[in-house]
Amino acid sequence: MSVLARLHEITPERVDLSFLVKPYDGSPLDRQLAHERAYYEWARDGVTYPLIERTFEWLEANRPPEPPAVLNWGDARIGNILFRDFTPVAVLDWEMATVGPPQVDLAWMIFLHAFFQDLAHRFGMEGMPHFMRREDVVATYEELSGTTVGDLSWYEVFAALRFAIVSVRTSTRGIAYGQQERPDDPDDLIMFRDLLRAMVVDGTYWD
């Protein structure tokens, strides 16, 4: 969390981040949404994924007020940090970096852990249910950054959208390589479709 708070001190007002701005019109969030739509159109290769389409609709219908933009790491998670004697010494994996609200990185970090926690449960393992809990992440980040995070629900859905598009693309690759069968329901290629459905269809994800 301290690494993320420090990275978010890098803002467009302090540093020239124009080379990271997505080439679309509008605010930083407009640009990120447009980028994900373009990525989805490429990744789906002519196949429609109803749950992903529903997620785009949910995001458009529930847009939050947009906070000031910072450097977005993009793939913000513990697996992309190198440590020496338990001290972070390097931050890796920057191909998703851009400019946007700090909540984008926070929600990605929380959701990726939720995904792996859900995966652990599906394989009959306990996982780490007390790690990366939303309330702990928010409280720690607010203390370290001196800023207020607010409601992360929209950003968690955005994180799920981004990962869903990655998921269908990697699953489609598996089909092309003969590693898995193509399902009758395209949404089955979303590795965490139940989590995503709980977010944008049932509304039970945050219960």
What does R_g of the chain's alpha carbons equal in angstroms? 17
Question: Residue 99: phi, psi to the nearest 5?
Answer: -120, 130
Distances (CA, A) of 193 to 50, 65, 71, 122, 159: 11, 27, 29, 13, 13
pLDDT category at 195 given cuts 50, 70, 90 is: very high
Average pLDDT, the chain: 96
> Any idea where the domains of the chain sit in the sequence?
2-200
List the beta strands (DSSP E) in the chain.
70-72, 81-84, 87-91, 98-100
In CATH, the number for domain 2-200 is: 3.90.1200.10
**Residue 105 to residue 140: CA distance in whole angstroms:** 14
**What is the pLDDT at residue 27?**
95
Q: Which tokens hold the place of 135?
A: 């309330």
Amino acid identity of 174? G
Q: Which tokens hold the place of 185?
A: 């329901």
Average pLDDT over residues 123-142: 96
**Residue 179 to residue 95: CA distance in whole angstroms:** 26
Distance of CA 158 to the CA centre of its chain: 6
- Interior angle at CA 74, CA 68 and CA 78, nearest 5: 115
**What is the pLDDT at residue 60?**
96
SS3 188: helix
**What is the pLDDT at residue 37?**
97
pLDDT category at 174 given cuts 50, 70, 90 is: very high
**Residues classed as catalytic:** 75
**Residue 159 to residue 153: CA distance in whole angstroms:** 10
Average pLDDT over residues 124-152: 96
